[in-house]
Amino acid sequence: MKGADHSILPNNPGRLLVVIRTGILQYRLCRSMYLLLIAVQLIACSSPGDNKTVSQPTKTDSTIQPLVLPEPTTIAPAETDRIRKICQAFYDTILLPKGFNGGILVAKGGNIIFEQYHGNTHIPGNIPITDTTPLHIASVSKTFTAAAVLQLWQQHKLNIDDELSKYFPNFNYPGVTIRSLLNHRSGLPNYIYFMEDLGWDVNQHLSNADMISWLIRNKAYIRNIAPPNTKFTYCNTNYALLAILIEVISGEPYRTYMRRHIFEPIGMQHSFVYQPGDSATIVPSYDWKGRHMPINYLDDVYGDKNIYSTVRDLMQWDRALSSGRLLNENTLRQAYAPYSNERPGIKNYGLGWRMNIFPNGKKIIYHNGWWHGNNAVLIRLLDEDATIIVTGNKFTRAVYAARQLANAFGDYNIPEEEEDTESGKPGSDSLRLPAKTDSLLLRKKPMSKKDSLMQRMFKDQHKADDLKRAQKL
C-alpha cells in the first residue's frame, strides 16, 4: 500500500524545505533549524527532531524561561524516618529479590525521603545506573503528551472537545474528539496490532505518519473499531495521534516541543524523546533473565512512549504539576477527573493519567509503563503531596508493586486484586513485605493468557510465533 509522498529538499545547513504532496493539496513549510511537515488531504505527518546525541543532555536554550517551583515543605524527622524504613523494606524484600535494575525515589513535599539505584546500564557491564542515567519510561510518556495538549488548550490554540477531523480533514473516524483520545474512549484500534494484521513489513520501521496514513486508507479492513465515547479501551494509537496534533498546532516537532516547553522550563536536565538513529546511544533494555531486548519496527512511533528520563527528573515533573504553574487548577481538575464509569470499581482514567478512587474518598493518580524490558511507574498522592517513582531497564513486575507504598502516606488500603501491570492484567509474582511494615502486602495471582505468552516469549525472544499470538489477544 502506497504511503504519503514526502519530498525533502536540503537548501543549506540551517534551513530545509520540505514539500509534502498528498492528493491535490500541497503544503510547503520552511522552518529555521528544524522542519515540521503536515499533510492535510491524505493526512501524514513527520518530525525530524533535534539531531542531538540522546545520551547527552540538550544544551539549554537561552530563550526559555525557567518555571520557578515551590520550595520543599518541612517534614518531621520522625515521619521521614518512618517512611524511609517502609521504603527500605520494600526495596530489600520486593524489588531487589526480583532482579531489579534501575532507580527508585520516594518524596514528600519536594523532599527526597528514599532514593536508591541498583545495577548497570548494560548487562553484563560495569557502568552503574545513577541519578543521571535516563531510562525509557514507556507509557509514563503519555502523561507528557497529555500535558502538552492541555498546554495548547490553555493557550486557546485548540479545543479538546473538537473532533480530530477539524485539524485533519481527511480523518475518517467521525466523533473522535481530542478529549476521547486523551481518555482512551475514542474507539480506535491499537496500531501495535492492526499494522501487522494489515500486512505491514515488520522489517521496515513504522512512523507516526505511516500509522495515520494506514489508519485512514484501510478503515474498511481494520477490526475492533468501536463507536466513540462508549467504553474505555487503552490504546496507543490515541497518543501517537496526539503527538502529531501537537506538531501541527505548535509548529514544532514533538521532540522539540517537549524540550522547550516542558523539560527545560522545569529543570528536567536528563530527559529527552528518542528519535530514529539513537539506538546506539540509549540505555538498552533486558528481559527478566537479563537477555537483551532489541528494538523493533514499532520503536520509532512516539507520543505513546519513547521518552527517556530519570527518577529525579520525574520528581521535577511531579513538582511542576503540583505547583499549578505549568497547568492551571481548572486544567488539572479535568485531567484528574474519571471519565470511564461503566463498570464499578476503583480503577479509572483521566486525561493522560490512570487513577484509583477509593470509597473513603482517597485518590491515587499514577501511570505505569512497559516497553520491551523497560518498565516504570509514577505514582502521585495529591492529598499528601507525595510521589513514588520507579524506573528500570530489566523487566520485573515488582516495579508495579510500588503502588503499595501509598499506604505509608495515608489510608489507601489498596486491595491486592487491584494491583495491575501496564497491560491491565494481573501480575504473577508473589510480592510480600514483612507484616511489621504497615502490612504492605501483595499476593500471588493467576497469570493471564497474554502474560503467560509474554513470559514464554521472554524465555526465548526468538520465538516469533509466540509473540504474534500474544499481540493478537
Q: List pLDDT tens digits, range 213-252.
A: 999 999 999 999 999 999 999 999 999 999 999 999 999 9
Q: What is the mean pLDDT of residues 47-60?
A: 40
Determine which of 63-67, 366-370, 382-386 has the lowest per-residue pLDDT on average: 63-67
Per DSSP, what are the bridge partners of residue 348?
355
Mean pLDDT in residue range 364-380: 97
Q: Where is pLDDT greater, at 266 or 13?
A: 266
Query: How many percent of the chain have pLDDT more than 70?
Result: 74
Whether 412 shows a pLDDT value over 50: the answer reads: yes
Which of 11-25, 100-114, 281-295 shows the lowest mean pLDDT across its residues?
11-25
pLDDT the model gives residue 452: 44
pLDDT at 428 over 50: no
The band of 61, judged by pLDDT with boundaries at 50, 70 and 90, is: low
What pLDDT sits at residue 421?
43
What pLDDT sits at residue 460?
A: 41
For residue 76, pLDDT over 50 is answered with: yes
Assess whether pLDDT exceeds 90 at residue 45. no
The answer on pLDDT for 35 being more than 90 is: no
Please report the pLDDT score of residue 337 as a whole number: 96
pLDDT given for residue 276 in this prediction:
86
Quote the pTM value. 0.80
- Whether 411 shows a pLDDT value over 80: the answer reads yes
Q: What is the pLDDT of residue 62?
A: 66
54 has a pLDDT exceeding 80: no
Of residues 464 and 336, more confidence is placed in: 336
Q: Cβ atoms within 10 A of the Cβ of 361, count?
A: 8
pLDDT of residue 278: 82
Q: What was the pLDDT predicted at 308?
A: 98
Rounded Cα distance, 362 and 215, in Å: 39
To the nearest whole number, what is the mean pLDDT of the chain?
Answer: 81
In this prediction, residue 455 carries a pLDDT of 39
Q: Which fold has domain 43-471?
A: Beta-lactamase (3.40.710)
d(CA 130, CA 311): 10
Q: How confident is the model at residue 296 (pLDDT cuts 50, 70, 90)?
A: very high
Q: What percent of the chain has pLDDT over 90?
A: 69
pLDDT of residue 60: 58
Q: Are 271 and 313 in contact (CB under 8 A)?
A: yes
Domain boundaries, the chain: 43-471
